[in-house]
Structure 1
Amino acid sequence: MKRIHRLLIANRGEIARRIQRSARALGIETVAVYSEADHNALHVREADQAICLGGATASQSYLNRDALLAAMRDTGADALHPGYGFLSEDANFAEAVIDAGFIWVGPPPEAMRSMASKAAAKQTLEPRGVPMIPGYHGDDQSDERLLAEAETIGFPLLVKASAGGGGKGMRVVERLDQVADALASARREARNAFGDDRLLLERYLVNPRHVEVQVMADQHGAVWSLFERDCSLQRRHQKVVEEAPAPALDDDTRTAMWKAAEIAAASIGYVGAGTVEYIVDASGDFFFLEMNTRLQVEHPVTECITGLDLVALQLRVAEGESLPAERPAEPVGHAFEVRLYAEDPEQDFRPTTGMLSQVVWPQGPGVRVDTGVESGSEISPFYDPMLAKLIVHGADRREALARLNRALADTRLAGLTTNLNFLRRLCAAPDLAEFTIHTHWIETHRDQWETRAEQPACWSALAASAIQHTLDSGHADPWQKLSGWRRFQQRRWLYNRSETEQCVVTEHQGVWQAHCGTETLTLSDVTVESLGAGHYRVHGRAGQRRRQLDAWPQAGGIEVDDGHSRWLQLWWQAEAAHEDGAGGDGLVKALMPGTVTAIHQTTGTRVKRGDKILSMEAMKMETTLTAPTDGTLVQCSLSVGDRVDDGQVVFVVEADEEDAA
C-alpha cells in the first residue's frame, strides 16, 4: 500500500482549503499552487508549502500541466488532488500524473474517458439497465440522420453537446423547422467550448427536477451510493441551491436511483468520489443525465447527512485502502448549500470584480462556510466568481431551511455586488419551502426573487449621521448612547440625493428623525457599535420595535445591510449645519479629521447663518461647514488640500452686534 505523505492540490480558493483541512487531519503535508493573481490567497498562506505556477490567467497557471508536474518534483509531493474544475476531469493529465510515478487522487483515466462523452456514456450504461431519456446518441452525426431522429423522438427536443457541460452547446427546439439552425449553432458553441462538436438529441422534459447520487468506490470493487441530492434550483444550467436528501421522492424511486448509480460506477471500474446525475419528470420517472468523474461542489450536504469526510475517503482510497466495513444506513437530518457569487443577478448574473472590503460569515449550530476569501480579498476576472459555499444542517428540512435563512441574514459582503440579496429572497420563497420547484423555476418565477430590494433613504441617512455623530463625539465606549452629547441643542445633517431632492436628519434630546421626500423615520435609543475596518452596526428603536443596520461609509455615500437587503446609498453631496461645532465667539471647529476640498468664502466677506464656508472630506464623505451666525468671516487661513485635525479651528465668524447680544 502506497501512503501519501505530501499532497499537491492543483486548485485554488475554497476547494483547495477544503482539501487542506482533510489532508491535515490525516497527517498529510500540503502543497499549494497559485497564480500571480493569488499570491496572497488564503489557500496559499495556509499550506505547508506553496509554489507559483505562472501568470494571472488560468492557462498560465492552474491549467499549466507541465508546471504542475514540475511543482510535484520540486516540492517532493507524492500525490495530486485536482479538486473540481480546471484539470479534474482531464483523463490525459491524470494519465501523465500516474505515468510520472505519482498518485492521482481520482478515478482511473479510462473510467474518466468512458464518461467524458455523454453519448458514449449512454451507449455504455443503457444496456446495463440504467434508464435513459428517449433520444439519439449515435455516431452518425450527419444532418440528415439527426433530422430524421429528431422527427422520431418528437418535440420539444433538446439538442446537446456530447462533451462538456454548464449549458454550453445546448438548444431547446419546439418544431422540426427549427432543428437545422439549432444543430449549426450548437455545433459551433460546442467546438469553441470543448473542441468537440458532436451532438446528441433527447426528448426535452418540461419543468423537470435535477437529482443526483453521490458514489464512492475503492480499488477492490466495493461501490457505495451515499444517498441523493436535489439540485433543481439553477440559473443558466448551473446549480444555485442544493439539498440532501432530495424531498418529495418515494422510497422505491430512491432505491432505484442508488442501485442505478452503483451499476454505472461498477460497470466502468470507477474508483473514488463521483456523482451520477438524473433528470426526473413530473410523474417521478428518472433518467440518466451524466456522470461527473470528480468531487462535486455540493459534496458538503452529503457529508452533513452521512457524517463522512468525503475528501478523507478519497485520499484513503487513493492509497489503496478499502472502504469501511459499514456504510451509513440512512441519512441523518437535512442539509442545504447555497453558492455565494460575485455576480449581479439584476444583470443576468453577470460576474463582478473588485475588492471585498468587508466579509462577515455566519456562525452557530449546524452552520458551515467553505470559502477562499476574506475582508480585503481582490476578486479578479480570471477565475470562477464563486466566493463561498454556505452549508447548514438541521434535524429536518424545516429546521435546516430556517437555519439557512438565518445564516444568510447574518452574512455580510461589502465592497462589490454579489448574489447575497438574490439568495436571501430565493431561500425565503414559499415555493422552496413547499418544494414546488423545478430546473426552470428561477427563469419562470422572477417575481419571487427579482423584486428589487427597498432602499430606504431615511434609514441610510440616519445611519450615516449617527456614525458621524459618534466620531464627532469621540465616545470611547461604542455602546454609549448618543443622546447625551449637548442635548439642549439640535444637530442637523442635510444630504442632497440630487440637485433637487434632499434628506434631512435631526437629533434632539436623543430622538432622531430623518425626512427624505415622503419618507420619514423616527428612532430613539440610537447606539453605534464599531466593528473595525470601517464597519459599524447602528441600533435604534422605532416605537416598540428594535432595528439594526450594518453600515460601511463609502466615498460619496454609505453601503448598508439590514439582514434582508443590502444596498449602496449614494449622495450627491453631504452638508451639515454645525451649530454644535461653533462656540459663542463664532469659532467653528472640525468635528473629525479630514482634508479641505473647497473654500467657498474669502476672509472679510459678509455671510449669513447657513452660508457655505468650507468643505472637507472626512470618513469618505464630503461635509460642508456653514456659518453659525450672520456676520463677517474674519479668519479662514486653510487652503484646498490642507489636512485638518479633530478639534482644529477652521474658521471664525464675527457675529453682527444684535446676534452677539
Structure 2
Amino acid sequence: MTGEPTMQYGKFDSVLVANRGEIAVRVIRAARDEGIRTIAVHAEADSDAVHVSLADEAHLLPGTLARDTYLNIERLIDIALATDAQAVHPGYGFLSESAEFARAVLAAGLVWIGPPPQAIEALGDKVKARAVARSVGAPLVPGTSDPVSSAAEVAEFVEAHGLPIAIKAAFGGGGRGLRVVRDASRIADELESATREALAAFGRGECFVERYLEHPRHVEAQLLVDSHGNAVVVGTRDCSLQRRHQKLIEEAPAPFLSDEQTTTIIESSVRIGAAAGYVGAGTVEFLVGADGMISFLEVNTRLQVEHPVTEETTGVDLVSEQFSIARGEWLRVPSTPSPRGHSIEVRINCEDPAAGFRPAPGRITVWDFPRAPGLRLDAGVETGSVVTEWYDSMLGKLIITGKDRRTALARARRALDEIRIEGVPTVLPLDRNILAHHDFADTFAVHTGWIEEHLDELVDLAGDDEAADSTLVEVPVGRDRHRIHLPGLAVLGDRAAEIKSRAVRSGAGIDQGDVAVIPMQGTVVRVAVSEGDRVEKGDLIAAVEAMKMENAVLAHRAGVIVGLAVAVGDVCSQGEQICRIEADSAE
C-alpha cells in the first residue's frame, strides 16, 4: 500500500488505553505494574467508570454513541498527542482490529500495541484469512472465496454444498453478523440481517458463506509472535459454550483433544501467523467437528476476552508480553509451556436469561465476590456502578483455577453459589446450571449449539433465583405476560412493592392488548412492517440493538399494524410503543 506507515518498536513509558470496561482495567493494571503512565478515555456515560479512576489521567470523549466516542479515531489520536502518550493499546472490541486505527497511531509517531495493519487486514477479512489458511495447508471446510453479492449467489452455494450454511461478516467477529441457515427459504432474510448487523457493528457489511459444521467444538490457540520472527502458541482453549455465538464459559487447556489434534492446531496456527506477517498477540480459532474433523475458523488480531485462562495455566502475562513485543524485545516464551492445572472462565453478562437474554441496564447495588485460592476476578464495575445500555453487556469475568479440571469445576460451583450481585440481573443462574450439567462436567458432550438445545431446561432450573429477584415485574401484554426488570426497585425499600403493584395494574403503560413495545432501551435497526400490514403471531415487527446485540421484536398476536411510531435509527426506551396490532376479521 502506498504510504504504508512503518511499525515502530521501542521503549515507551506512557500508554493511551483506547477502550473501556473490564479490558481497560486489565491493561491499566498491567501497565502500572511496569511503571507505565496510563491515560484513559471515556464517554459521557462512563464518567464514573472504574477504569477512569484507576488511570493516571482520564479524558472525555464527548457523546454517548460508540461511533462518537470509542470509535472516534481522530479524537483518540488528538488525546494521545495532547497527553504525550507514547503508545496506544486498543484492548479488544471497538477499534482493536481496525487497520485504519493502527495506521493512524503509527502515522502519529506512536507505538501501536498490536499487529501490523497489513496483518490486521489479511486476517481480519475472513475471506482473506481463509486464503492464508489454505495456502499453508490448514484444515478448512468448503466456503466462498469472496464475499457474496446476493441471495441468489448464496443459493448457488447451497445447491453445490448443501445445508446448513453459515453466513458470516467478512470484517467482524464475536458472533455479530453471523447467521446459520438450515432452511433455503430463509437465505434472503438471513443475508439481509447479517449484512445489516455487520454494517452496524463493524462499518462493513460484506459477508461470505461456508458449510456449517453441526455440533462442533470451538477450540482456539493463543499465538505470540515477536518482531524478529519468533512464534509460539502459548496454549489452547475451549470456548464451545456459547449462546448466539457469544461465548459464556471458556476453559484451558482445551480438554479431551487427542495429541494429534492438538499438534495440528498448534502447527497450523504458527504457519498462519508467519504467512500473514503477524506480530503481537493473536488467537487462531478452529472448529472441531463431532467426527474429529478440524476446520480453521478465523484469526482474532487482538487480545481475547478469555485470555486469563491461558495466563492462569501457563504463568504467562499476555498483556505484559504485548508490551514486550511492542518494545521490540525477543519472545520471553521460547516454546509452548506445559499446562499447569486447569482454568475455567465464567463471563458475567448483564442480561436476563428468563427474558430472552435481554440486556438490563441499571445500578449495581451489591457486587460481592468470594475470596479463596484459585479465584481471580477481572471486572470493570463495582458496587454503585451504573450499567448503561450503550455498550457491551459484559460486566466482568470470574476465573477459577485448580490442579485439574475436576478441582476447577468444584471451585467454580462453590464460587458461583457464594457470589452476590444485586440491582441488575446477570446470566450467573444459567452458568450455575451449566457447570452442574453432566454433559459438561462428566462426559463433555457440549458443542457450540449445546446451550440453545438445552436452554429451556437450563433457564427453568434458574427460575428459583429469578423468583426472589426484587427488581422483576411481570407486565401483561395481551394474553401474555412479560418479565421486565426495574433495577431501581432494589434501592427503594418499602416503596418497591407499591411500585410493582402499580406497574402490574397499569401494565407499565403497556396493558393494552394490542400494543407492541420496545423490549429494552436501544436503537431501532429494522422496521419490518408498514402501516396497514397484516401480521400473524410470531411475525417480525422490528429489530432493536442494545449492548451490541440485535433483538427481534415479534408480533404477540395476529392483526393489522396501526399507529406505527418508530423508524430505523430511533433511540427508544424500554416499554415505548412500536405500534398497535388491531384485531381484524381474519383473527
Give the TM-score of the pair, scaled to structure 2: 0.76
RMSD: 2.7
> Which of the numbers 229, 232, 247 marks the counterpart of 1:221?
229
220 and 458 in structure 1: CA distance in 2 versus 1, 3 angstrom threshold = closer
1:551-576 CA distances to partner (integer Å, 9 max, x unpaired)? 99833569xxxxxxxxxx9799xxxx
Which of 447, 460, 469 lines up with 1:451 in the alignment?
A: 460
SS of residue matched to 1:87: coil
Structure 1 window deviating more from structure 2 (113-122 vs 451-460): it is 451-460
1:188, distance to aligned residue in structure 2 (A)? 4.5
Give the whole-Å Cα distance in 2 for the aligned partners of 1:143 and 1:380: 36
The equivalent of 2:446 in structure 1 is 437
Letter in 2 for 1:257: I
Cross-structure match for 2:427: 419
Residue matched to 1:148: 156
Instruction: Name the structure 1 match of 2:126.
Output: 118
The code of the aligned residue for 1:68 comes to L
Determine whether 1:204 maps to 2:212.
yes
1:555 aligned residue: 494
> SS at the partner of 2:283?
strand
Q: What's the secondary structure of 2:93's corresponding residue?
A: coil
- Aligned counterpart, 1:128: 136
Residue 175 (structure 1) shift: 5.1
- 1:326 corresponds, among 334, 338, 343, to 334
State the Cα distance separating 1:328 from its structure 2 match. 4.5
Measured after TM superposition, the shift of residue 231 of structure 1 is: 0.3
Q: 2:13 aligns with which of 5, 18, 26?
A: 5
Q: CA separation of 1:570/1:14 partners in 2, compared to 1, >3 Å: closer, same or farther?
A: same
> What residue is the counterpart of 2:116 in the other structure?
108
CA drift of 1:77 comes to 0.8
Deviation of residue 382 (structure 1)?
1.3
SS of alignment partner, residue 220 of structure 1: coil
Within a 5 Å distance, the mapping from 1:378-417 to structure 2 comes to 378-417=386-425
Q: Aligned in 2, Cα 1:459/1:282: closer, same or farther, shift over 3 Å?
A: closer
Contact residue 233 and residue 336 of structure 2 kept, 8 A = no
Name the residue aligned to 2:370.
362
Equivalent position of 2:310 in the other structure: 302
| 1:102–1:244 distance in 2 versus 1, CA, 3 Å | same
Structure with a larger share of its residues in strand: 1
CA distance in 1, matches of 2:147, 2:69: 36
- Given the superposition, is the C-alpha separation of residues 54 and 121 from structure 1 closer, same or farther in structure 2, using an over 3 Å criterion? same
Say if 2:283 is the partner of 1:275.
Answer: yes
**Contact 1:232/1:437, CA 8 A, preserved across alignment:** yes
Query: Offset at 1:168?
Result: 3.5
Cα distance, 1:325 vs structure 2: 6.0
Structure 1: how far apart are the matches of 2:392 and 2:187? 32
Distance 2:333 2:343 in 1: 25
Could you tell me whether the CA contact under 8 Å between 1:277 and 1:291 is conserved in 2? yes
Match of 1:235 in 2: 243
Matches within 5 A, 1:518-529: none
Structure 2 residues without counterparts, runs of 5 or longer = 1-8, 471-489, 503-587
Shift of 1:39: 1.6
What is the aligned length? 475
The 8 Å contact of residues 408 and 424 in structure 1, kept in 2 or not, is answered as yes
2:494 maps to a residue whose letter is A
Instruction: State the identity as a percent.
Output: 46
**Deviation readout 1:395-419 (Å, 9 max, x if unpaired):** 0000001111111111110112221
Counterpart among 276, 292, 296 of residue 300 in structure 2: 292
Asked if 2 retains the 8 angstrom alpha-carbon contact of 1:334 and 1:394, the reply is yes
| Preserved contact between residue 426 and residue 448 of structure 1 (Cα < 8 Å) | no
Cα distance change of structure 1 residues 437 and 224 upon mapping to structure 2, 3 Å threshold: same
Q: Show the counterpart of 1:17.
A: 25
Shift of 1:347: 1.4
Correspondence for 1:640:
none
Structure 1 or 2: more helix by fraction: 2
**Is the Cα–Cα contact under 8 Å of residues 150 and 201 in structure 1 kept in the other structure?**
no
1:189 shift after superposition: 4.3
Mapped partners of 1:332, 1:557: distance in 2 = 49
Instruction: Specify the alignment match of 1:27 in structure 2.
Output: 35
Cα distance between partner residues in 1 of 2:363 and 2:248: 23
- Structure 1 gaps of 5+ residues are 462-550, 559-568, 573-661
SS at match of 2:459: coil
Alpha-carbon contact 1:429-1:448 (below 8 Å) kept = no
Matched, 1:244 2:252: yes
Aligned-residue offset at 1:118: 0.8
Normalising by the residue count of structure 1, what TM-score does the alignment of the two structures yield?
Answer: 0.68
Judge conservation of contact 2:21–2:381 (CA < 8 Å) in 1: yes
| 2:138 corresponds to 1:138 | no
Give the greater-gyration-radius structure (CA). 1
Q: Deviations over 1:159-218 (max 9, x none)?
A: 333222233433333355554554455444444544434332222211111111100110
How far apart are residue 380 of structure 1 and its match?
1.0
Q: Is the 8 A contact 2:227 2:279 kept in 1?
A: yes
Amino acid paired to 1:124? V
CA-CA distance at 1:157 after TM superposition: 2.3
SS of residue matched to 1:369? strand
Distance 1:126 1:244 in 2: 27
Question: CA offsets per residue over residues 278-305 of structure 1, 9 Å max, x none?
Answer: 0110111110000000000000000011
